[in-house]
Chain A
Amino acid sequence: MQAITNQSTATRWITVCALNDILPNTGVCALVNDQQVAIFRVGEEDLYAIANYDPFSSAYVLSRGIVGDRNGIPKVASPVYKQNFNLATGECLDNAEVRVPTFSVRVVDQQVQVGSTQL
């Protein structure tokens, strides 16, 4: 729901890289409006974006985690202490109280774009 509202109102799309800059099943970190965004390419097609900040290690590292799934939910494991985050919602799968922000992301003409609601 959120994503749709965002798109229909004030979303500004910022191109960060080519799709091919992200190897399948890995992540990269992009700087978007001074924020660190971790973008993951799951399989060939699916893209997800969450904050790069790992609240458990207080380091900006989530883009370097291993991508996979738990019970079908796409997720990334923090490279420092290995907590898992739901890529779609930002929820921590190992600690229900923790959630990292998510961002909208899309591919246009083989370019990866991150949505920003900030003006």
Chain B
Amino acid sequence: MAKQNLVVIGNGMVGHKFLDRMIAKGATQNWNLITFCEEPRIAYDRVNLSGFFNGKTEADLTLVEPGFYQDNGVQMYVGDRAIKIDRDHKCVTSANGITISYDKLVLATGSYPFVPPIEGKDAEGTFVYRTICDLEAIAAYAKTCRVGVVIGGGLLGLECANALKNLGLETHVVEFMPRLMPVQVDDAGGLILKREIEAIGVSVHTQKTTTKIVSENGRVHKMTFADDTELQTDMIVFSAGIRPRDDLARDCNLMIGDRGGIVINESCQTSDPDIYAIGECALHQNRIYGLVNPGYVMAGVAADNICGVDSSFDGADISTKLKLLGVDVASFGDAFAKTPGARELTISDAIQGTYKKLVVDETATTLLGGILVGDASAYGSLLQLMHNKTTLPPHPEDLLLPPRSGGENALLRVENFPDTAQICSCNNVSKSDICNAIRDNGLTDLASVKQCTKAGTGCGGCVPLVTDLFKAELKQAGIEVKNHLCQHFAYSRQELYHLVRSSVSSLEESQQIYTFDQLLQRYGQGKGCEICKPAAASILASVWNECILNPPHVGLQDTNDAFLANIQRDGTYSVVPRVPGGEITPDQLIVLGEVAKEFNLYSKITGGQRIDLFGARVDQLPHIWARLIEAGFESGHAYGKALRTVKSCVGSTWCRFGVQDSTSLAIALELRYRGLRAPHKLKSAVSGCTRECAEAQSKDFGIIATEKGWNLYICGNGGMKPQHAQLLAADLDKETLIRYIDRFLMFYIRTANRLERTATWFNKLEGGMEYLQQVIIEDSLGICAELEAEMAHQVATYDCEWKATINDSTKLQRFRHFVNSDQRDPNVIRVEERGQLRPAYEHERQLLTIGQS
């Protein structure tokens, strides 16, 4: 049988979903899929359109995997609008003059923003907010503006106001009705919302009817209102509602609703059974759905019907949860208590800025709907209670308040939802869909769950629920989210740290854990490996601070630590002496130069404001260090998971901008924390003013001078995944600063995973910066005294590892290449480049060895 033509007009969110459904059903076997896409780009995520202003790109927003349409043979007409439907001949004509016949036609034309017929509405400087093109135009124009007004205080209007504010404009919202979000929120909720939004710096004008838009020099200048007031502005965005794009359907005499919208039945067919309408252009039981999920449901129903599967559209839930200008707002079910006998229960807290309303049935046993403003964390769970008609507890208000007895409210726990509960309403994903995906595919991380089920990839409102479900599911399956260090220890690094740390206070010395063997005997199995040995060595060093080359420890160290130097690709090492704060005297520079010359070392300035000498053989290391130590240098710990450097700028000592002496502070900090071993390396920097020449905000802890003291930033990172450090505390005096750093570092050392930098550790920390501030500043865990004492012990027991080594002949034994010969490794071959030596590359090495033989 020849394939039939299926034409889709509109490639927006719903048009795409429809094609996606058809392809998933294998319908390309029987159908040629053809689509007209008016916009210059194929379907993208309109729901997250505002993300465009927060740096999301077109590629981030697209809904279509690259190549998806091509691979499935979908014929695309991008940038081409359908302009005529000829029902008699069953064909569609486009603006570019293409005519294509159809066997079935699907209208997914969406809607257009309604612009009220105000005088001056077409002036330069007026916009709507619907497409990427609109946003590009707004962003370009806003550059020349100071003030922006949004007409319309609904859901979209507030989102648009947020965007204008982010573009740096003084922003106003003008709403014709007496309250914001008139469709979703009641008067009391609207009032709280207004107050919260004004607190963020957006002016809200309700009950204002705009009468005229006045231009000056061809640009919008001000608007006047029915109450004779006026408002000056440079640009205006209309967000006064949407209207279905039903003109094509109208022109070919399909049935249209009185107030617009293409009438459809429960199969999503229009009055012509060969033509379907889905999404925002469709009118179902006299209702238009301005949300994406009902459109997605329609897309599925239409695809089913065209493929001969029976399914129907029975209306959809229009519950919503949003974060508007940073304020949570949710509205669900019968929010206005229109059900006969419905009763309302409200809790309004003007201090916290929250408003919560539940609508329950006559007997107060089932939930019918509700409104949440300011704190919508209970939204997902309440929605479930409503959909599943769960019997409410005796005091329904408990659902809105913190638990009475300190326990959690069991009804709101995702484990207790029925399997059919819809968790993600954007993509219609049920609890059992998610659980099955986790079980069947053995998923062990949240990202895979989202990718596999699509849950949480729409508006994102359900992500907390998905996360809870994921955790509960893993726990139930007995797949503990395992954090064992390796096969030799069934403990995480944190747990091992704790075991070692708590053994310190054991009264019996035999119970104290000094060595890896003791740790392995008590808590591990086997012989250990390259994962647990260095981790244990680091823990033992953080707790006891014994020289890492003492006999019981030396075998635990990675080769860098074992030889107190950094191994290079030819098996030789580099030497980095400590240069605290990057301050170095001419005499010290001369010594470094002399040593480099004598041992023929390649010299380079590091990124950490010190000097790296490369190419030292194992046997040379002690001789090099003997010279360096004599000249007053110390180990720089460049080889260790330890404090590396505290970089600095010259600060107020030289710089005309400096407000504090950043160099002296950097030196003091580097000397305080030198040698401190941690789960991973630690870097720091101190800048003398906000110009930040030392780049302190890319460090594990960075300090920036202020007029009043020091700002402390923590958990930044450079390297592979740069991340800005965040402010922990501002304007500290030096003593407090050091106290906070002590606590921070020790808390990190206690709780981080093996090889976890502070930035990664921070990103996983529940409660984020607020939590850290509580722990470090307010001592919420009551451990600060301990942390400080631990650090004091570290500082007091610091010893230069190289000094300890060159003074110990048994330790020096190891520093030779052969145990039975004084020969050197004959395979180290060097070539000269720019006046210094470097290891030969493989091809050079071959040439050189041929030359020798």
Contact = CB atoms under 8 A, between A and B. Distances in A.
Interface of A: 16-17, 21-26, 28-31, 36, 39, 42-43, 57-61, 64-72, 74-75, 77, 79-80, 82, 84
A64 B559 contact: yes
Interface string B284-320: 0000000000000000000000000000000000000
Given A26-B554, A69-B528, A69-B529, A80 B569 contact: yes
Given A58-B842, A64-B562, A25 B529 contact: no
Contacts of B813: 21
B179 to A, nearest CB: 64
B44 interface: no
Of the candidates A17, A59, A68, the one having the most CB atoms from chain B within 10 angstroms of its own CB is A68
Of the candidates B488, B554, B818, B825, the one having the most CB atoms from chain A within 10 angstroms of its own CB is B818
B533 A23 contact: no
B527 A43 contact: yes
Contacts, number: 95
Nearest to B842: A58
Contacts of A67: 527, 555
Given A21-B819, A66-B534, 16 more contacts: A21-B813, A22-B819, A28-B814, A29-B817, A29-B818, A31-B820, A57-B571, A60-B571, A60-B827, A61-B571, A66-B557, A67-B527, A67-B555, A68-B526, A72-B526, A77-B530
Of the candidates B529, B532, B554, B558, the one having the most CB atoms from chain A within 10 angstroms of its own CB is B529
Contacts of B532: 68
A4 B527 CA distance: 27
B551 A23 contact: yes
Contact of A24 (B555, B563, B827, B842): B555
B186 interface: no
Contact of A23 (B488, B555, B820, B821): B555
Interface of B: 487-488, 526-530, 532-534, 551, 554-559, 562-563, 567, 569-571, 813-814, 817-821, 823, 825, 827, 842
A31 B827 contact: no
Contacts of A36: 818, 825
B571 A59 contact: yes
Contacts of A77: 529-530
B559 A70 contact: no
A68 B555 CA distance: 10
Contacts of A71: 487
Given A66-B530, A66-B558, A80 B571 contact: yes
B615 to A, nearest CB: 13
Given A60-B825, A66-B556, A79-B567, A16 B819 contact: yes
B447 to A, nearest CB: 27
Of the candidates A25, A36, A57, the one having the most CB atoms from chain B within 10 angstroms of its own CB is A25
Given A57-B569, A60-B825, A79-B558, A66 B529 contact: yes
A106 to B, nearest CB: 15
B533 A30 contact: no
A80 B821 CA distance: 24
Given A58-B842, A60-B827, A28 B559 contact: no
Contacts of A84: 530
B487 A30 contact: no
Q: Which 7 A-B residue pairings sit nearest by Cβ, starting from the closest? A: A79-B559, A68-B529, A59-B571, A77-B530, A28-B819, A25-B555, A69-B527
A61 B554 contact: no
A70 B530 CA distance: 10
A55 B526 CA distance: 27
B555 A59 contact: no
B817 to A, nearest CB: 6
Contacts of B820: 16-17, 30-31
Contacts of A26: 554-555, 814
Nearest to A14: B820
Contacts of B562: 64
Contacts of A75: 529
Contact of B570 (A29, A59, A68, A70): A59
Of the candidates A42, A58, A59, the one having the most CB atoms from chain B within 10 angstroms of its own CB is A59
B528 to A, nearest CB: 4
A47 B559 CA distance: 20
Contacts of A16: 819-820
A68 B527 contact: yes
Nearest to B533: A66
A60 B571 CA distance: 7
B26 to A, nearest CB: 41
A31 B823 contact: yes
A63 to B, nearest CB: 9
A84 to B, nearest CB: 8
B487 A70 contact: yes
A59 B569 contact: yes
B526 A69 contact: yes
26 contacts: A16-B819, A21-B813, A21-B819, A22-B819, A24-B555, A26-B554, A28-B819, A31-B818, A31-B821, A57-B569, A59-B827, A60-B817, A64-B563, A66-B533, A66-B556, A66-B557, A66-B558, A67-B555, A68-B526, A68-B527, A68-B528, A68-B529, A68-B530, A79-B559, A80-B569, A84-B530
Contacts of A60: 571, 817, 825, 827
A16 B526 CA distance: 29
Contacts of A39: 819
A106 B559 CA distance: 26
Given A30-B820, A58-B842, A82 B526 contact: no
Contacts of B554: 23, 26
B569 to A, nearest CB: 6
Nearest to A58: B842
A84 B527 CA distance: 14
Contacts of B842: 58
Nearest to B526: A69
Nearest to A18: B819
A61 B559 contact: yes
Of the candidates B533, B819, B823, the one having the most CB atoms from chain A within 10 angstroms of its own CB is B819
A22 B810 CA distance: 11
A48 B87 CA distance: 86
B333 to A, nearest CB: 57
A66 B487 CA distance: 16
A43 B527 CA distance: 8
Nearest to A26: B555
A43 B456 CA distance: 52
Contacts of B819: 16-17, 21-22, 28-30, 39
B555 A70 contact: no
A83 to B, nearest CB: 10
A17 B647 CA distance: 46
A61 B533 contact: no
A29 B822 CA distance: 12
A84 B530 CA distance: 9
A30 B818 contact: yes
A99 B235 CA distance: 73
A70 to B, nearest CB: 7
A16 B821 CA distance: 9
Of the candidates B554, B562, B571, the one having the most CB atoms from chain A within 10 angstroms of its own CB is B571
A36 B827 CA distance: 10
Nearest to A112: B819
Of the candidates A24, A26, A36, A64, the one having the most CB atoms from chain B within 10 angstroms of its own CB is A64
A82 to B, nearest CB: 6
A62 B567 CA distance: 12
Contacts of B530: 65-66, 68, 77, 82, 84
Contacts of B557: 66
